[in-house]
Structure 1
Amino acid sequence: MCSIASIGIKAPVKFATRGKNTPDRVYTNIKHAYRATPLPHLGQSDQLSMFLVPAHTPLRKQTKPTTHTITTTLPAEALPQLQDCFACTDWRVFEQQDLEAHTETVLSYIRTCVENVTVTKQIRIFPNRKPWMTSEVQTLIRARNVAFKSGNSNLYRTARTSLRKGIHQAKRVYRRKIEDLFHNNSPRKMWKEIQTLSNYRGHTLSNTGSSRTQAEELNNFFAHFETTAHPLLQPPHNVSTPSPPSPMLQEHEVRRTLRAVNPRKAAGPDGIPGIVVRECASELAGILTKSFNLSRSHASVPSCLKSATVVPIPKTSSIDSLNDYRPVALTPVNSVWSHSSPTTSKPVSLPASTPFSLPAGETDQQRMPSP
Structure 2
Amino acid sequence: MNTWFSLPPRRLYTWRAPQDRPGNIVRNQIDFVLVNKRFSTTVSRAQTYPGADVPSDHCLLTISIKLKLALCKVNKGQIRKLDTSKLQQEEIKSDLRNKLNQKLEHIKGQTDQQPLEVWETVETTIKNVTIECLGYEKRRSKKKWITDEILQLMDKRRQHKNTNHDEYKRLNSLIRSDIRKAKRKWLEGECKEIEYLQQIHNTSEEHKKMKEASGMYKKRPPGIYTDDTNKFIIEANEKKQLWEEYITDLFADDSREGLKDNQFSESLSGPPILREEIKKVVMEAKDHKATGPDGIPGEVLKLIDNDNIDVLLKIFNYIYNTGHFPRSWLRSTFIPLPKNSNA
TM-score (norm 2): 0.52
- For residues 241-320 of structure 1, the aligned pairs below 5 Å read 254-263=274-283, 264=285, 268-269=292-293, 274=298, 275-276=300-301, 279-285=304-310, 287=311, 300-304=322-326
- With over 3 angstroms needed to count, the CA separation of the structure-2 counterparts of 1:93 and 1:308, relative to structure 1, is same
- Residues 306-353 of structure 1, C-alpha deviation per residue, up to 9 Å, x if partnerless? 96759xxxxxxxxxxxxxxxxxxxxxxxxxxxxxxxxxxxxxxxxxxx
- Residue number among 136, 146, 155 corresponding to 1:142 in the alignment: 155
- Residue number among 227, 230, 245 corresponding to 1:220 in the alignment: 245
How many residue pairs end up in the alignment? 238
Residue 130 of structure 1 aligns to a residue in which SS?
coil
- Residues 237-279 of structure 1, C-alpha deviation per residue, up to 9 Å, x if partnerless? xxxxx96897986xxx944444333333665445555543762
Structure 1, unpaired ranges of 5+: 8-29, 35-58, 95-101, 237-241, 311-371
Residue 69 of structure 1 aligns to a residue in which SS?
coil
- With over 3 angstroms needed to count, the CA separation of the structure-2 counterparts of 1:295 and 1:259, relative to structure 1, is closer
- Residues 104-143 of structure 1, C-alpha deviation per residue, up to 9 Å, x if partnerless? 21211110111111225364366xx223322233233223
TM-score (norm 1): 0.48
- Residue number among 216, 219, 227 corresponding to 1:201 in the alignment: 219
The code of the aligned residue for 1:195 comes to E
Q: What is residue 82 of structure 1 aligned with on the other side?
A: 100
Residue 162 of structure 1 aligns to a residue in which SS?
helix
What is the Cα deviation at residue 220 of structure 1? 2.0
Structure 2, unpaired ranges of 5+: 1-7, 15-36, 43-67, 225-232, 259-264, 333-343
What is the Cα deviation at residue 79 of structure 1? 2.4
Aligned alpha-carbon RMSD (Å): 4.8
Q: What is residue 40 of structure 2 aligned with on the other side?
A: 32
| Alpha-carbon distance in structure 2 between the residues aligned to 1:157 and 1:306 | 55
- Residue number among 165, 170, 173 corresponding to 2:185 in the alignment: 173
| Match status 1:111 vs 2:123 | yes
- For residues 155-166 of structure 1, the aligned pairs below 5 Å read 155-166=167-178
| Alpha-carbon distance in structure 2 between the residues aligned to 1:245 and 1:62 | 53
| Match status 1:132 vs 2:141 | no
| Alpha-carbon distance in structure 2 between the residues aligned to 1:204 and 1:180 | 30
| Alpha-carbon distance in structure 1 between the residues aligned to 2:40 and 2:126 | 54
- Residue number among 174, 184, 191 corresponding to 2:208 in the alignment: 191
Does the Cα contact within 8 Å between 2:116 and 2:315 map onto a contact in 1? no
| Alpha-carbon distance in structure 2 between the residues aligned to 1:111 and 1:179 | 33
- With over 3 angstroms needed to count, the CA separation of the structure-2 counterparts of 1:172 and 1:272, relative to structure 1, is closer
- With over 3 angstroms needed to count, the CA separation of the structure-2 counterparts of 1:4 and 1:220, relative to structure 1, is same
| Alpha-carbon distance in structure 1 between the residues aligned to 2:150 and 2:235 | 42
| Alpha-carbon distance in structure 2 between the residues aligned to 1:227 and 1:254 | 25
- With over 3 angstroms needed to count, the CA separation of the structure-2 counterparts of 1:194 and 1:78, relative to structure 1, is same
- With over 3 angstroms needed to count, the CA separation of the structure-2 counterparts of 1:63 and 1:226, relative to structure 1, is closer
What is the Cα deviation at residue 192 of structure 1? 3.5
Does the Cα contact within 8 Å between 2:150 and 2:178 map onto a contact in 1? yes
| Alpha-carbon distance in structure 2 between the residues aligned to 1:116 and 1:270 | 12
| Alpha-carbon distance in structure 2 between the residues aligned to 1:277 and 1:169 | 31
- For residues 12-31 of structure 1, the aligned pairs below 5 Å read none
Does the Cα contact within 8 Å between 2:197 and 2:206 map onto a contact in 1? no
Residue 150 of structure 2 aligns to a residue in which SS?
helix
| Alpha-carbon distance in structure 1 between the residues aligned to 2:323 and 2:129 | 29
